[in-house]
Amino acid sequence: MDHVSLAVPQAIADALPAESDEAIVDMQRAVEGYERQLNDSLTDLGDYSGVVDAIERFEQRWEAYDEYVVELRSWGQSPIYAMVWRDLHAALIQQLYDHDELAAEIDRERHARIVQDGIRFNS
């Protein structure tokens, strides 16, 4: 498996206000950290459970930021930062699925977890 590469999509960076250089740098650092963890997981473990764990964390963060958007709007605050972080996590999941070999392994691992959970629940 080739190394996974992730990036902050330009559309997300462009959605930020002009004075948001620090936010873009923070996003890039976060993405670099995610990328490093994913590649370490793939190299060290030789399986794809670490990638699926990361996707599940991204999904949880996506949901949390989505809730922040609603809450910020209800308080009359601008939700732009919550929106771009939410969209970043969705984009990262998509970038992982865009790796052809990785997408099949992700699906296989997620299906195995569903079956395992179903067996555990029925026991």
CA 68 to CA 82: how far, in whole Å?
6
- What residues does each domain of the chain span? 19-122
For 36-102, the DSSP string reads HHHHHHHHHH-SSHHHHHHHHHHHHHHHHHHHHHHHHHHTT---HHHHHHHHHHHHHHHHHHHSHHH
pLDDT at 113: 85
pLDDT at 24: 94
- What average pLDDT does the segment 46-70 reach? 92
Which residue would you say has higher pLDDT here, 111 or 44? Answer: 111
**Per-residue pLDDT tens over the stretch 77-89:** 999 999 999 999 9
What pTM was estimated for this model as a whole?
A: 0.86
